């Protein structure tokens, strides 16, 4: 008897797997840069779908690729973005504690971190299998990005010039970003407004506009931008008027914003998950499935052994693995309903439980062990939560879920090994601007602050309480509110520079939605190109810098490379009359 995972069209093959691996490594590299610079990472599935369809159509003219083959390739490709978000949102917090809070802590060895990433990634994939049956097959949760990816895939396979459009936009965005970083790397600051407590820097960042478009008005305008205005146009100027130092006022607002972000995640857990504990967790124990489903309990024991071997105490390791089983379920449900997966918060919650447990029994858990736990949980939550988008796309297209599982397991191992080393390249290349407005890495600061403490704990607790109550009320009344407390808190933390860019992207999408809805898909293609172009330009420049090339020389070299690539794509387009 065939299981639900084995029903559907097949797309698993050498061609799709090789493309999935290549795309996952590309997304890993660019997404680490994007996550550190922007403080957020849009769902990689849209970009992965578009690129997978375009490449497979270009290289498979003698043997046309099917929708299922593209779906498998994009599913594996997205793992790179998910792994990037997990390591970028957590590990840099070690540097923040060391360099800004004078904590004696050393960066985790990349080989040990690779073991954590691979273990968390594989366990996340395995635990997602029963969750797919519950949340995709039975409850039919929307998983908006997965549904959108499926629609884009269907449109791409019918024809179009999406791949060439993205190539042009990627190269143009990369050239623009490289030139900007050479001549106006810090943007233009409105110094005259600082007297009034308004700290605003204008930055020409195509990446931010693209993200704002893809996130849409609900997040980019109603929530993120509103949070930035509340914090940086209202609260900070009021505090400065009361003779607060500007830096102190900014710290106050940022602590409150981080509290809102964490309070929103915990509020969802308490208000939504706890009342449904039995129904949500039952699938993890009652379903009979294929062999890879039965690996979940066994690989949980493997995870215990790996964490203990790395140096995490036994009790903390048990808490971490048990926490993964809980948090992956929450992540899958939350992603399916809200399109948001606060993976670092799930890691923080489990990390705080471990720290609290050790404190209660008068033992000490080291900061590095706490970071390992947070990263392990974040990786698993990222994969198990966001893989739901791939399952949703497979559900709509009719692709065999088993193929999604297999390609994701392969890519989880490969990008898990590569992630720590690529992260080190970016961190070393941009060490001088890390934790500044140019590369704030806010989630890593959230992790560090949650573990070590905040400058204004009362502001953090107030933000936490307000967001917690808000989530409880929204869940109680079951209303679809066009507002995200989590995005509001991120806007408060990051300030006006990025919020303005996201606002522009959201306004553009709102305008197109009302005046030319047929072009909304084209806007998604352009936005994906804007994000990919700046991300890959930033990563390649950082890689050259780490290899010993001066940053200015590296930037000029990349301008030449991107310029030549643009000319080649233009020649290809004219020669084949594809435009």
The pLDDT tens digits for 139-169 are 777 786 787 777 667 766 655 566 678 788 8
The pLDDT-based confidence of 436 (bands split at 50, 70, 90) is: confident
The Cα 438–Cα 428 span in angstroms is 15
Residue position matching structure tokens 């791949």: 163
* Residue 164: domain span: 10-576
* Residue 442 or residue 319, greater confidence: 319
Q: Is residue 1 part of a domain?
A: no
Is residue 4 assigned to a domain?
Answer: no
Residues comprising the chain, all counted:
579
On whether residue 368 sits in a domain, the answer given is yes
pLDDT for position 62: 66
Question: How many domains does the chain fold into?
Answer: 1
Q: d(Cα 530, Cα 544) in Å, to the nearest integer?
A: 22
pLDDT in tens, 172-185: 999 999 999 888 87
Residue 305 lies in a domain: yes
Instruction: Report yes or no on 492 lying in a domain.
Output: yes
pLDDT class of 444 with cuts at 50, 70, 90: confident
Evaluate whether residue 176 is within a structural domain: yes
pLDDT band, very low/low/confident/very high, at 288 (cuts 50, 70, 90): low
Where is pLDDT greater, at 574 or 174? 174
Domain assignment present for 122 = yes
Q: Measured between alpha carbons, how far is 270 from 487 in angstroms, rounded to an integer?
A: 19
Contact 325, 277 (CB under 8 A): no
Whether 3 is covered by a domain: the verdict is: no
Burial class (CB in 10 A: 0-12, 13-18, 19+), 334: buried
Angle at the Cα of 77 (from 72 to 83), degrees rounded to 5? 130
The C-alpha atoms of residue 409 and residue 222 are separated, in whole angstroms, by 37
């Amino acid at each position: 008897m065939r299981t639900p995972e084995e029903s559907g069209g097949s797309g698993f093959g050498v061609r799709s797997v090789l493309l999935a691996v290549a795309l996952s490594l590309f997304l890993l590299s660019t997404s680490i840069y994007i996550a550190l610079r922007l403080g957020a990472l849009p769902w990689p599935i849209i970009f992965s779908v578009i690129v997978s369809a375009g490449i497979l159509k270009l290289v498979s003219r003698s043997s046309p690729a099917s929708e299922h083959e593209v779906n498998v390739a994009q599913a594996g490709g997205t793992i790179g973005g998910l792994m990037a978000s997990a390591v970028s949102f957590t590990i840099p917090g070690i540097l923040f504690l060391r360099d800004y809070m004078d904590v004696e802590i050393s960066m985790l060895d990349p080989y040990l971190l690779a073991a954590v990433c691979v273990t968390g990634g594989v366990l996340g994939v395995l635990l997602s299998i029963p969750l797919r049956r519950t949340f995709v097959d039975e409850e039919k949760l929307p998983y908006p990005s997965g549904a959108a990816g499926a629609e884009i895939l269907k449109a791409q396979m019918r024809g179009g010039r999406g791949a060439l459009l993205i190539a042009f936009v990627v190269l143009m965005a990369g050239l623009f970003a490289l030139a900007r970083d050479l001549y106006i790397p810090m943007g233009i600051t409105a110094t005259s407004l600082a007297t009034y407590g308004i700290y605003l820097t204008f930055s020409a960042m195509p990446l931010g506009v693209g993200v704002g478009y893809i996130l849409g008005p609900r997040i980019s305008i109603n929530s993120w931008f509103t949070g930035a205005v509340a914090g940086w146009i209202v609260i900070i100027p009021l505090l400065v008027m009361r003779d607060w130092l500007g830096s102190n006022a900014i710290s106050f607002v940022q602590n409150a914003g981080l509290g809102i972000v964490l309070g929103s995640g915990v509020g969802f857990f308490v208000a939504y998950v706890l009342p449904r504990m039995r129904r949500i967790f039952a699938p993890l124990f009652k379903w009979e499935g294929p062999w890879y489903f039965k690996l979940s309990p066994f690989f949980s024991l493997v995870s215990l052994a790996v964490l203990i071997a790395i140096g995490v105490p036994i009790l903390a390791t048990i808490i971490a693995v048990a926490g993964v089983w809980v948090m992956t379920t929450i992540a899958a449900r939350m992603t399916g309903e809200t399109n948001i997966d606060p993976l670092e918060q799930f890691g923080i919650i489990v990390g705080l439980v471990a720290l609290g447990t050790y404190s209660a029994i008068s033992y000490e858990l080291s900061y590095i062990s706490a970071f390992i736990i947070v990263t392990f949980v974040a990786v698993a939550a990222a994969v198990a939560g966001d893989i739901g988008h791939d399952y949703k796309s497979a559900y709509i297209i009719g692709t065999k879920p088993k193929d999604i599982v297999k390609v994701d397991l392969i890519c989880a191992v490969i990008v898990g090994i590569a992630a720590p080393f690529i992260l080190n390249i970016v961190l070393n290349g941009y060490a001088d601007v890390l934790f500044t407005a140019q590369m704030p890495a806010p989630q890593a600061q959230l992790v560090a602050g949650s573990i070590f403490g905040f400058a204004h704990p009362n502001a953090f607790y107030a933000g936490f309480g307000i967001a917690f109550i808000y989530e409880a009320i929204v869940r109680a009344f079951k209303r679809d509110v066009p507002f995200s407390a989590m995005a509001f808190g991120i806007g408060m933390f990051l300030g006006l520079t990025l919020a303005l860019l996201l606002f522009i992207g959201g306004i553009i999408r709102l305008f197109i939605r009302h005046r030319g809805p047929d072009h909304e898909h084209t806007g998604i293609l352009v936005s994906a190109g804007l994000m990919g172009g700046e991300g890959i330009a930033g990563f390649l420049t950082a890689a050259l810098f780490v290899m010993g090339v001066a940053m200015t020389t590296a930037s000029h070299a990349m301008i030449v490379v991107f310029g030549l690539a643009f000319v080649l794509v233009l020649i290809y387009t004219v020669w084949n009359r594809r435009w």
